[in-house]
């Protein structure tokens, strides 16, 4: 049972006709909608903050989903892409020159070939043929690391700003005795 081939070939078909290709994005947008609704509809401030968190997770998921390459795996180089390079600090010039004319894409240019190669490496039951380690032509497809980096820091910053919002809520509660926006409006604090 080779689900990876099936999934990736389906995506390649879909990318031309726009079938289930953008389905994930629609799911994520629906999640964003629930987040927005929660922020706007609730008068309770903690509920609004929870809604903000949901919205944030949806945005992060949107970014991360754009970085996914279909037969790919996480962008941590696997053993066959890690040449046992010299650890004495000297850099091989020939090696460097060799790597410059490597295929630039995160995948090989021919999508069909890519699917087959990806299947070969990712299929659990088949034997993996270890390629020449010095060459930069990898048989493994990796997902795009850039969105991961941006979103990783965004999550930590997100919790820091959430804590800031929560501390404001605590102060408001101490000062006015309520965390409901409606009640603050009734008191004439909030216009």
Partner 1 sequence: MEIVYSISAFGILFSMMLALIRAAQGPTVFDRILAVNMFGTMTVLFIGVVGYLTNRPDFLDIALVYALMNFIAIIAVLRYRDFSVDPAEEAENHEHS
Partner 2 sequence: MIIHGITIILFLFLYVIAIVIGRSRNLFAAVMLSGIFSLISACLFVIMDAVDVAFTEAAVGAGVSTVLMMIVLNLTSDRESPPVQPKVFPLLVALLTGGVLIYATKDMPAFGDPEALIHQSQTTNHYLWHSFEESHIPNVVTTVLASYRGYDTLGETTVVFTAAVAVMLLLGHVRESETPPKLINDPIALVGAKMLIPYILLFALYVQFHGDFGPGGGFQAGVMFAAAFVLHGMVLSPKHTLKAAPALIIEKLVALGVLLYAAVGIYCLFKGGNFLEYDVLLSHGEKPNPHGQHIGILLVEAGVGLTVFAAMLTLFYKFALRGKA
Partner 3 sequence: MSILEIIGSVFLLSGTLVCIIGGIGIVRFPNFFARIHAASVPDTLGAGLCLLGMVVLTCGLSPEQGYDAKLIALIIVKLVSIGIFIFVTSPISGHALAKSAYRDGLGVEPEDDAKSQTQEGAS
79 binds partner 3 (CB under 8 A): yes
Judged by DSSP in three states, 180 sits in strand
Q: Residue 129 or 153: which CB sits closer to partner 3?
A: 129
Residue 78 in contact with partner 3, rule: CB under 8 A = yes
Count of positions on this chain that bind partner 2 (CB under 8 A): 114
What is the Cα gyration radius of the chain?
24
Residue 47 has a CB neighbour count (10 Å cut-off) of 15
The residues, ordered by sequence, that sit 6+ positions from 101 with a Cβ below 8 Å of its Cβ are none
Paired tokens of 67: 């970085």
Q: What residues make contact with partner 1 under the rule CB under 8 A?
A: 1-3, 73-74, 122, 124-125
**Residues 101-140 vs partner 2: string with x where CB under 8 A?**
-x-xxxx---x--x---------------------x-x--
Q: Does position 173 bind partner 2 by CB under 8 A? A: yes
Question: Of residues 130, 163, 189, 190, which one binds partner 2 by CB under 8 A?
Answer: 163
Cβ-based nearer residue to partner 3, 17 or 79: 79
Specify which residues 73 forms β-bridges with: 142
Q: Which of 84, 117, 87 is nearest to 103 (CA)?
A: 117
């Amino acid at each position: 049972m080779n689900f990876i081939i099936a999934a990736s070939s389906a995506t390649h078909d879909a990318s031309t006709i726009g079938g289930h290709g953008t389905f994930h994005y629609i799911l994520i947008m629906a999640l964003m909608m629930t987040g927005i609704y929660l922020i706007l509809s609730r008068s309770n401030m903690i509920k609004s903050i929870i809604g903000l968190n949901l919205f944030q997770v949806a945005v992060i998921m949107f970014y991360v989903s754009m970085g996914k390459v279909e037969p790919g795996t996480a962008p941590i180089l696997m053993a066959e892409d890690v040449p046992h390079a010299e650890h004495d600090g000297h850099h091989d010039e020939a090696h460097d020159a060799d790597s410059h004319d490597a295929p630039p894409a995160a995948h090989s240019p021919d999508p069909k070939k890519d699917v087959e190669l990806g299947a070969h490496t990712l299929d659990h039951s088949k034997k993996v043929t270890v390629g020449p380690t010095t060459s930069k032509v990898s048989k493994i497809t990796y997902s795009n690391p850039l969105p991961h980096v941006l979103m990783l820091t965004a999550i930590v910053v997100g919790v820091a700003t959430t804590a800031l919002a929560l501390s404001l809520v605590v102060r408001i509660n101490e000062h006015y005795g309520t965390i409901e926006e409606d009640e603050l409006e009734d008191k004439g604090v909030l216009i």
